[in-house]
Amino acid sequence: MNKQLIYGLLLSVVMVIAPHVIHLPLWVSALSACLLAWPAYLAARGEPLPSHWLLIAISIAATGGILIEYHSLFGREAGVTLLIVLSTLKLMELKTKRDAMALIYLCCFIIITNFLYSQSLVTGLYMLACLLIISQVWVQLHMYPGPFKTRLKIACTLLLQAIPLTVILFVLFPRLPGPLWGLPQDAFSRSGLDDMMSPGSLGRLALSDAVAFRVAYPGPPPRRDQMYWRGPVLWNFDGRTWTQGKSVQIFSAQLSDTTQPISYNVTLEADNKIWLFALDMPDSLSIPYRRMNDAQLLNPEPVTTRLRYQARSYLSYHANLLESAAQLQRALQLPAGFNPKSRRLAANWRANGSDSRIISSALGFFNRQNFHYTLDAPPLGLNGIDDFLFTTRAGFCEHYASGFVFLMRAAGIPARVVTGYQGGEYNAFGNYYIVRQSDAHAWAEVWLQDRGWLRIDPTAAIAPERVEQNLSAALPDNTVLPFMARNPPQWLRELSLNWDAISYQWNSFVIGYDNERQFAFMNRLGLASVRWQALSMMTGIALIIGLFALYMLRHLISLKQDKTQAAWLKFCRKLARSGLPRLPYEGPQAYAIRVCIARPDLAVSIKTIANRYIALRYGIPQPENTQRDFLQLVAQFRPSAN
Amino acid sequence: MRSALKLRLSKWLFRPKIEHGSIVLTQRRIFILPTRQGLALVLLLIVMLLGDINYSLSLGYMLTFLLAMMSVLSMLHAFRNLAQLEISAGRVEPVFSGETARFLLHFNSKIPRYQLVLQGRDSVCFDLPAGRNSEIIYPALATKRGRLSAGRLTLYTEFPLGLFHAWCYLHFDTWALIYPNPCASAPLPIGETPDSTGKRSVTGDDDFAGLRNYVSGDALPRIAWKAYARGHALQVKQFATQLGEEIVLRLTDAPEPGLEGKLSRMTRWVLDAERQGLRYGLNLPDSELNAGNGTAHRDECLRRLALYGLSDASPNPP
C-alpha cells in the first residue's frame, strides 16, 4: 500500500468518527486514537503492519469492552462504537485493494450513523466534505499515483454530477412510513416534559436551550399571555410528586361556547415522548392522535422524528361542563395527614366564601406574602407545601402550581396541575415562534360549576413578567440561565435568529420531508399515483444521465461530419457498387490509379475527383468554390453508366 | 461443469474476430459489468436504505442516493474511458525463440484516459495523454519458432471507482516472426572446396573495391562513416575478396537428430557466418537460397528457418 493512500484513508476515518467522540465512552476514544496513530507511525517509518494475531486479540478485547459497557452489541450506541473500533482496526490490515475498499465502505456507513445524532445543516455540509475526501481516496485507489489535482477533479466531478440526480431521487423516491422494525429505545433520547412533576423538575428544564417546537401562525398570533401550550396533565399528589394517575374516563372531553378559533403549524422536535403540544384549548390536529378526557393530546407512539402538524384551538372556551363525579373526586384527592397549616388556611377560606372568592384569596396570598420567583428554591421538608407556603416562600413555577392546586383541593375545589410551555421567542426572519425547553411551565386548572375547567396561573400573580415577557425578565439578574434565555446583545440575537430561521427551513423542507409531505407535494404536482411518481423519477434520472453522457462524450462524437470527407465516402460507395471497393490499405491516390486502370472510361472524372479530394483534405486551404465543385462532381459521378 | 459451460458461453459470445487496420472502440465493442466490489456496494446501499427508512433519516436518504448515483455515474466514466479509442497494431520485430516479442500497439485518443490495462497472458497498465499518438508495447514470451500471434487481448479499465469492469477485445491479425533459438555454439560446416578446409581466410576483407549507395539492410560496420561525415550520401564499402568465400548451409549437415535441433544449429551457423562476413547460401529440402551476405540476406535466411515446415495457416497464439 502506497503511503499517500494510507494517509488518505486515515484522514477519512478520522473525519467520519470525529463527531462521534462527544458521545463515545472515554476508553473507546482513547483506543481509537491509539489505533489511528499506530498505522500512521508505521507508514511514516515504512515498517510492516502488526501481525494478524495481535489484531484479533485487540478486536476481541474491544468487543468484550463494548459488551461490558453497553450490555449488548446491538442498538445505537453499541453498534456505532463497534463500527468505529472496527474501522480503526481495519486500518491496520490494509494489504490489498479489497481491504481499502472495505474500509471506504465502512467510512460511508459511519457517516450515516452520524445522522442518528444530528441532521442539522452543519452536519450535512460536514458530511459532504467527508464524502468528498473519501471519494478522492477512492479514485486514488483505482488510479496510478497520479497528481492530486486530477484525482480531486475526478472526485469532484462525480460528486457534483451526482447531486442533481440525488435531488430528484430525494424528492421522488417513494417513501415508506414509519419504522420497519422496532426502534431501539435509545435511538433518540432528549429531555422534555415528563409525566411527573416534583420540585425542581421544571427548573432543570429551564437550563436547556434546546428547541422544543416551533410554531408558525398563518394569521395574527394570539396575545403572549394566551400562549399556553398544553402538555401532560397531572392529577395525583403524594405530598411531593405530581403524577398522571389512572384516568377514570367516563366522558370524553367536551368543549362548548367556543370562540376565538386559531390555527397554526407546529414543528415538534423529537423528544421520545408521546405528548403533542397545542394551545389551550386544543380542538383538532391534522395528524392521527388520541385525545384524553383532560385534553391531553397523545401521539400513538413516542415522537422519534421531527413531527409537523396543523392544529386548531379555541382561546376562549368552556371545557367539560359535565365532568363525571369520579373525575371530580380524583381532582380533590390529597395525601392524608400532611401539611396541616395549608389545610387550615384553605379551610378558613372555605368557611367564608364562594369558589371565586377562594381563588382570589389564594392568588392574593401569593401576591401579598412576599413570595420570590427563583430557580434556586431551597429544599423542602416532609410537609413540602407548608414549608413552601409559610417558610421558604421561594420557588419556580412548579412550586406555585403545586401549592395552588393543593390549596384549592384542600378548600374543596377540584383542581389539577397542567404542565407545558408558555410563551416563546418570535423569529422575525422566519416569521415563527421558537419554543425552547426553557419555556417549560406549570399552571393550575380548577373546575367551577358553570365554568368547567378554568386555567389559573399562580405564577402570573407573583411574576407577571414571566407570562407577559419571558423567563429572564421574571428572574433576578444573577440567575444562571442558558445563553438564549438571557438577553444577549442585539446583533448576536439577530444572528442566532437568522440561523434558526435557516435551520427551520432546512428542518421543514429537507429533514421533515417524509412520506406524508411527499404525498402532499406529489398531489400538488399532479403525480397522484406512485406509478407516475416512479415513472417521472426514472425519466428525470435517465434524462440527466443522458445529458451528462452527451456532455462527457462531446469530444468523441463528432456530430458534424466533414462535408468533403462525406462526399469522398459517397464516391467510394458508388464505385464499390460497380464492383470496385476501396481496399482498407489504399489511400485516395493508389485507389484512383487502380480504378482508372480497371475503368478507363471513367479515368478523367475519377482522377479529377481524387485530386480535388486530396487537395481539399490534405493541401493548403482552397478557395470556397473548390469544395462546391467537388461536391457537385461527386454528385454527378455515375460509374454504372458503362 | 459450470465453469466449462461458462467458458463455452463466453467463447460463443465473444468469438474471435480477427481484424486488421485500425479499430475504433464503438459502443458495440465495449462491455460493462459490475465488479465484485460493485455488487458489495449494492448490498451496502440496501442496508443503508433500510436504516434510513427505519430511522426516518432524511440526510441518510440523501447520502444513500448520492452514493448510488455516484456509482451509476462511475459506469459512464468507465465507458468514456474506453469509448472512441482508436487502436492499430504496429510492426513487431522478429525475435529468437525464448525471447520476448514486443507487440507494438498505437493508441490514439482525443481525451486523457486513465488506468487502462491490456491483458493477455501478461498485462500492461498505462494512462494515455490527450490528443497524441501513444505507443504501448505488449510483451509476449516466444516459446517456439514460427509465427507468434498476440492472440486475443483484453483491454479493460476499472476506473474511476472500481465498481464497474469495462472491457473490449482486441484481436489483430498481427504476428511476430520467431526465429529458431540458436544453439550454444558450433563450428561452421566445412566449405565447398576440400583445400579450404578450416582455412577460410578472411584476409581479403580488407581489399577495398569501392562504394555503393546504402540500401536498407546493409550491415552497419560496412557503412562509410568517414565519407558520410564529409557530407556524402550514406554509402557502403564493398570488398572484392569477399565474393570468393562461399559456404552453403545444409539442413542435412546439421548433426542433431531432431528437426528443431537441426534448425537451431542452422540458426547459429547463419549468425556466425554473417558475423564473420562470409557469403553463405541456404539449402533446405523445400527451398534454396543462393549465397549472399548482409543483414537483409541474414534475415531472409532466418525467416526461412523460422517458417520451415510450417503451413501458412494461422499463426500460433501465445
Q: Is residue B277 part of a domain?
A: yes
pLDDT of residue B198: 40
Q: Is residue B281 part of a domain?
A: yes
All three cell numbers of B110, joined, read 482525443
- Predicted model pTM: 0.67
Which has the closest alpha carbon to A310: A265, A261, A262?
A: A265
- Interface ipTM: 0.76
Domain-by-domain residue ranges, chain A?
3-142, 147-177+514-556, 196-485, 563-636
CA distance B246 to chain A (A): 41
Say yes or no: B166 and B200 in one domain.
Answer: no
**Pairwise CB contact (< 8 Å): A112 & B70:** no
Say yes or no: B43 and B168 in one domain.
Answer: yes
What is the dihedral sign for C-alpha A14, A16, A19, A23? negative
User: Which residue among B126, B153, B179 closes a domain?
Assistant: B179
Q: Is residue B265 part of a domain?
A: yes
**Pairwise CB contact (< 8 Å): B70 & A162:** yes
Which has the closest alpha carbon to B136: B157, B112, B110, B108?
A: B108
**Pairwise CB contact (< 8 Å): B54 & A179:** yes
* Closest residue on chain B to A160 (Cα): B70
Find the CB nearest B115 among A142, A548, A553. Answer: A142
Q: Is residue B201 part of a domain?
A: yes
All three cell numbers of B154, joined, read 483484453
Residue A639, phi then psi, degrees to nearest 5: -70, -30
pLDDT in tens, B216-240: 767 777 777 777 777 777 777 765 4
Provide block-wise average pLDDT over 10 residues at a time, chain A (642 residues): 86 94 89 90 85 89 89 82 91 88 94 89 93 93 81 93 95 79 53 80 78 89 90 88 76 79 89 88 88 86 83 89 85 86 89 84 84 81 87 87 91 92 84 87 90 89 77 65 67 81 82 79 81 90 93 72 79 86 82 88 87 83 81 84 50
Beta bridge partners of A375: none
Q: Is residue B246 part of a domain?
A: yes
Q: Could you tell me the CA-to-CA distances from B207 to A640, B4, B227, B237, B243 in Å, in that order?
A: 65, 69, 17, 10, 11
Say yes or no: B159 and B302 in one domain.
Answer: no
Say yes or no: B172 and B107 in one domain.
Answer: yes
Say yes or no: B209 and B158 in one domain.
Answer: no
* Closest residue on chain A to B42 (Cα): A105
Q: For residues A400 and B287, what is the distance between their CA atoms, to the nearest angstrom?
A: 123
Q: For residues B2 and B292, what is the distance between their CA atoms, to the nearest angstrom?
A: 59
Find the CB nearest B162 among A101, A179, A553. Answer: A101
Which has the closest alpha carbon to B136: B105, B167, B100?
A: B105
Q: Could you tell me the CA-to-CA distances from A34 to A58, A69, A299, A357, B82 in Å, in that order?
A: 12, 19, 46, 72, 44
pLDDT of residue B200: 42
Say yes or no: B101 and B250 in one domain.
Answer: no
**Pairwise CB contact (< 8 Å): B63 & A305:** no
Say yes or no: B164 and B21 in one domain.
Answer: yes
Provide block-wise average pLDDT over 10 residues at a time, chain B (318 residues): 71 67 82 94 95 88 96 94 89 90 90 90 88 88 88 90 93 88 79 42 49 71 76 69 68 84 90 86 86 88 88 58
* Closest residue on chain A to B80 (Cα): A553
**Pairwise CB contact (< 8 Å): A557 & B84:** yes
Say yes or no: B198 and B145 in one domain.
Answer: no
Q: Could you tell me the CA-to-CA distances from A31 to A16, A36, A40, A60, A541 in Å, in that order?
A: 16, 9, 14, 13, 44
Say if CB B224 and CB B256 are below 8 A apart.
no
Q: What is the residue-wise DSSP string for A285-352?
A: ESS--EE-TT--EE-SS---S-EEEEEEEEEEEEE-SS--HHHHHHTT---TT--HHHHHHHHHHHHT
Say yes or no: B172 and B251 in one domain.
Answer: no
Q: For residues B318 and B309, what is the distance between their CA atoms, to the nearest angstrom?
A: 19
Residue A179: list chain B partners with CB under 8 A: 53-56
CA distance A186 to chain B (A): 12
Gyration radius from chain B CA atoms: 29
**Pairwise CB contact (< 8 Å): B37 & A98:** yes
**Pairwise CB contact (< 8 Å): B63 & A115:** yes
Find the CB nearest B69 among A166, A180, A305. Answer: A166
**Pairwise CB contact (< 8 Å): B61 & A111:** no
The catalytic residue positions of A are: 397, 441, 457
Residue B44: list chain A partners with CB under 8 A: 105, 108-109
Which has the closest alpha carbon to A295: A310, A317, A273?
A: A317
Find the CB nearest B73 among A105, A139, A158. Answer: A158
Residue-number span of the structural domain to which B264 is assigned:
194-307
* Closest residue on chain B to A124 (Cα): B59
All three cell numbers of A399, joined, read 412550586
Helix intervals (H) in chain B:
2-13, 36-55, 58-82, 225-229, 259-275, 295-307
CA distance B65 to chain A (A): 5
Q: How many structural domains does chain B have?
A: 2
Say yes or no: B26 and B166 in one domain.
Answer: yes
- Which site among B57, B58, B124 would you substitute to test the A interface, given the most A Cβ atoms closer than 10 Å to its Cβ? B58
Residue B61: list chain A partners with CB under 8 A: 170, 173
Q: Is residue B188 part of a domain?
A: no
Say yes or no: B166 and B215 in one domain.
Answer: no
User: Which residue among B113, B146, B179 closes a domain?
Assistant: B179
CA distance B303 to chain A (A): 25
Residue B56: list chain A partners with CB under 8 A: 178-179, 304-305, 514
**Pairwise CB contact (< 8 Å): B55 & A183:** yes
pLDDT of residue A258: 85
Say yes or no: B46 and B173 in one domain.
Answer: yes
